Structure 1
Amino acid sequence: MELSQTFALLSATPATLNALLRNLPEVWTQSNEGSDSWNAIEIVGHLIQYDHNNSMRLEWILKEGDSKPFPKFDRTSFQTAVHAKSLADVLDEFTQVRTNNLEKLQKMDLSDVVLAKRGIHPALGSVTLGQLLATWAAHDLTHLHQLTRVLAYAYRDAVGPWSAFLGVLQCNGHSKPA
């Protein structure tokens, strides 16, 4: 994958989230798919946490390489922080964090040699910096998909028999933390 394509996707995510969520009534942004699933604010909060974590992992690969594993991180620790915030605040925070990360990335020399540098993921083992960047973009898409599923879930009964034609209502995705 071309790095410019990855940057384009990472750059588009804040505007996509804003377009999808910014002006929705709270009933939409507070709903989820049932127990152990996330609502819109929690999903954006997770993206903020993931951005912080990926920025740290990127620096870790450059400084530590594969000499020791990345520090583990709790994928749900964001939940306490976001429950005290409005959706607008969480969207603004994500936009700022992502903008800062993209500015850092664009200042880096991301040559093929640098993209091939390795780090050690605590669960996955050896990974490259290039794989980390590709995963970052695919992770955004995973949670954009999740958001559309969470929003569509409100219509699961109202659509009646048309649900058979609505893939977003058939998908079991990854709302539950892995």
Structure 2
Amino acid sequence: MEDKECTELHAKGTDIFAISVVSITSQKAGRYRHRPVTASPAQNESTLIDLSKVRFEPINRQAVEASRLWKDQHFAWCEVVEWKAREPLYLDIAIWHEEQLCGLCFANPNASRKRIRIVRLEGRPREKHPLKNRIGALALIAIEQYAQFLGSNILEIQEPLKGAVSHYQKLGFDFDSQGRLVKNLENRVS
């Protein structure tokens, strides 16, 4: 898709429904605003981050442009703009640390709303950034809030990249009997 087409498609706007979920998620993440966190207890203090510098926004033209600067990008995020026009209940997330784009995610529910497919999820590849190895966990904050809002009880990774499967498994995903990489959200306490 040409850059001009991406810009024109994006000019159609962002779904207010997705903006609301991202806003709710930002508020939830804000609860930890003054508590530096690490991705795992095994990491040393040099990996502490201040979540007050993290923001969740819809994927807009600025995010798409920033993603084009990534080295070895796995996905053409410009396509998300086109998908947003076709998928009324989509959730699109750009994860920023201050002014640096660190990750992107696009997800949408199936027709029954019982399952949410994570169509694309990518952290800034190759290059170091403040949220390295945390993009999946941060995106799941938003996606799980969205799932709760819709009444969905299963998250599914659509066509996971081979190298990413172990990362998803660390986040609670596993293969079901049909070979889909899923995370069951039933029996969770709100």
- Report the TM-score when normalising by structure 2: 0.25
Q: Which structure has the highest strand share of the two? A: 2
Q: Which has the higher contact order (CA 8 A, sep 6+)?
A: 1
Higher Cα Rg, which structure: 1
- Report the TM-score when normalising by structure 1: 0.27
